[in-house]
Structure 1
Amino acid sequence: MRITKWSVYQIIILLLLVVLAFLAERFNQGIAIQPSQNEQFTIISMVIIVTFTMTVIFFSSSFYYFQAKKSNTFLRHSLWNKMPLIIPVVFSVLIIVMLALYMMTSLQDQRWFMYVIIYFSLFAANLFVLSIVNKVNESSSLLLKIKYSGAATALFILVVLFVV
């Protein structure tokens, strides 16, 4: 297996996600403020949450873009037609396992695992939307599909965060 420049870019994205988790942990006081305390702090914490979430979704989409550049079969295999059904099942099982590990072990004291769960959830949500976009819009280019899925995932997550 040969490491291409696209693989290097993917590694850089993973390192940037570690840096993002470190920064989020460093400034976690702004996120933890309750909405009833002060309206200004509430708005600031909402902006921090949105910025964090959109950055992770952007990195996720970039990761998939680099994978598309690296692999000729990305989104082209016949299994991708079934992915909108497979991804939620696999995601649900894995998130249950991760949460069980978190609750039943000493991982409760490890905040880094919370970031693993958040990243995994956002990456899986983006992959799920990408699989739907791929199935619905088969004739578009991969780049366009990845852009659509990133925007749709961001919109969906924003609605879930602030409306629900």
Structure 2
Amino acid sequence: MKSMFLSRWTYLQIIILILLGILPFLSETFNQGISVPIGGSPVATLGPMFMTILFLVLVLGGFNLFLFLQLRKSTTFLSHPAWDKMHILLIFIMVISLVVFISAFFMTPLSELLQNVRWGIYLILYYFLFLFNLIVLSLIHRVKKKQYY
């Protein structure tokens, strides 16, 4: 049955966004297992390091699946001429974002705010991971396009 408004790819993207929204709540529930103690023995840090890597793999996998579904939904997703220069633009945005984040962290009470509002950490982490993921995608797109011409 065909939907009147949204394609099946859009529904799958919505499900992925919901799962990416649920993931921080799950990680907060098990935060004892995710936070890696500093100076702990290698055996004691193995479990938390595994949980942290699993969290990052799930987030990056969700972002990649979201972008893949966007590519399936729209045939013009990576064909815009702006994608030829996107790697430069995204690196510039990443540098500016890092400078703003670091300066906000040291000049404002951002560290205290992030301790009180834990979901802010996940928003910042998601933002930087998604931006890094787009940089990698734009670099791969640029290299693949050069190979064909």
Which of 6, 21, 34 is residue 31 of structure 1 equivalent to?
34
Q: Rate the CA distance shift 1:96–1:10 in 2: closer, same or farther, 3 A.
A: farther
Question: Would the aligned equivalents of 1:60 and 1:123 in 2 still touch at CA under 8 Å?
Answer: yes
TM-score, normalised by the number of residues in structure 1: 0.75
Give the aligned residue type for 2:44.
Answer: F
Question: Would the aligned equivalents of 1:84 and 1:131 in 2 still touch at CA under 8 Å?
Answer: yes
Which of 116, 119, 124 is residue 123 of structure 2 equivalent to?
116
Q: Rate the CA distance shift 1:80–1:118 in 2: closer, same or farther, 3 A.
A: same
Give the aligned residue type for 1:45.
Answer: P
Moved more, 95-104 or 80-89: 95-104
Give the aligned residue type for 2:86.
Answer: M
Question: Would the aligned equivalents of 1:13 and 1:59 in 2 still touch at CA under 8 Å?
Answer: yes
- SS of corresponding position for 2:145: coil
Give the Å deviation of 1:104: 4.3
Corresponding residue of 2:10: 7
- Percent identity for Structure 1 against Structure 2: 35
For the aligned residue pairs, the C-alpha RMSD in angstroms reads 2.5
Question: Would the aligned equivalents of 2:35 and 2:52 in 1 still touch at CA under 8 Å?
Answer: no
Question: Would the aligned equivalents of 2:86 and 2:138 in 1 still touch at CA under 8 Å?
Answer: yes
Corresponding residue of 1:83: 86
Give the ranges of 4+ consecutive aligned residues of structure 1 lying more than 6 Å apart after TM superposition.
Answer: none
Gaps of 5+ in 1: 141-164
Cα distance in 2 between the residues matched to 1:130 and 1:52: 21
Cα distance in 1 between the residues matched to 2:11 and 2:146: 29
TM-score, normalised by the number of residues in structure 2: 0.82
Number of aligned residue pairs: 140
Give the aligned residue type for 2:74.
Answer: S
Trace 1:6-155 onto structure 2 (pairs within 5 A): 6-97=9-100, 100=104, 103-104=108-109, 107-108=113-114, 109-138=116-145
Gaps of 5+ in 2: none
Q: Rate the CA distance shift 1:88–1:30 in 2: closer, same or farther, 3 A.
A: same
